[in-house]
Chain A
Amino acid sequence: MGRFLLVTIQVDMHDRLALALQDDLTQMISDTEARGVLIDISSLEIVDSFIGRMLGNIAAMSRVLDAETVVVGMRPAVAITLVELGMSFTGVRTALNVDAGMELLKSAVNGNKQGHGTSVH
């Protein structure tokens, strides 16, 4: 199944801290050869465009490193606000909670294995 990284964001991050997380996590994916990253944002009271972009970047970078990212635990008020803000969150897989996220990761990673050999555009 491969290794998964579980990240729980527990503090209200200033922008540089968010960028540091993005960089550290990308390095960690490479170092541990992780196949999946699960990011739990259930503690976050808001997701603004900066944090939204960071999550999108992590998903994009992990994809390049052959890992899947799933963001879990977004609060309903945060989801409503994000949509109104105009963030589409395309390219970021989401799940309601950690359990559902793990299932999604497992099937995504397995699916990729079966999909090996398909061309990359």
Chain B
Amino acid sequence: MALLSTETLPIRAEIDVVTARRRVRDLAAQLGFSLVNQTKVVTAASELARNTIIHGGGGSMVAETLNGPRTGLRLTFEDNGPGIPDIELALRDGFTTGSGLGLGLGGAKRLANEFEVASRVGQGTKVTITRWK
């Protein structure tokens, strides 16, 4: 898999979620994503960026553009927060420890083609999604 570009954005304050959405939109458009697929990946990024702040206490997003054999966008959200004790439970719709709807993690998974979450209690969480063109 060929990596076209990689960049890191801080996800620390609410406004960073807006910046991340905009950047993901630009990258997806540059890669030639359809409008629906742009919207899906931007929405997934919005959910995960919010999680990074609310549950992880802030962190970063790494955006990688990929091509060959397939064109896609890979986003990695990483924080050094308290971690997720039970990932299966966290993925369940309606489960939330915050004040949201509990759709963030599971919703982002459905909006992506590939989804990976790694978390260690007390150390942090890393969520990676890939959306193909």
Contacts and interface: CB of A to CB of B under 8 A. Distances in A.
Nearest to B39: A77
B100 interface: yes
A85 B110 contact: yes
Nearest to B35: A77
Contacts of A53: 100-101
A86 interface: yes
B17 A14 contact: yes
Contacts, number: 70
A3 B39 CA distance: 35
Q: How large is the interface on B (under 10, 10 to 19, 20 to 34, 35 or more residues)?
A: 20 to 34
Given A85-B111, A86-B107, A46 B93 contact: no
A46 B42 contact: yes
Contact of B46 (A48, A80, A84, A87): A48
Interface SS of A by simple majority: helix
A107 interface: no
Contacts of B22: 12
Interface string B83-112: 000000000010000001101101100110
A49 B47 contact: yes
B14 interface: yes
A27 B101 CA distance: 24
B74 interface: no
- How big is chain A's contact interface, by range? 20 to 34
Contacts of A14: 14-15, 17-18
Contacts of B40: 80-81, 84
Contacts of A116: none
A54 B101 CA distance: 11
Contact of B104 (A13, A47, A49): A49
Given A48-B50, A53-B101, 8 more contacts: A16-B14, A45-B25, A45-B42, A50-B46, A81-B43, A81-B111, A84-B107, A85-B110
Pick the 7 closest A-B CB pairs, nearest first.
Answer: A85-B107, A77-B39, A48-B46, A49-B103, A14-B14, A77-B36, A81-B39
21 contacts: A46-B46, A47-B43, A48-B43, A48-B50, A49-B107, A50-B46, A50-B50, A76-B36, A77-B36, A77-B39, A78-B39, A80-B39, A80-B40, A81-B40, A81-B111, A84-B107, A84-B111, A86-B103, A86-B106, A86-B107, A87-B107
Interface of A: 12-16, 45-50, 52-53, 75-78, 80-81, 84-87
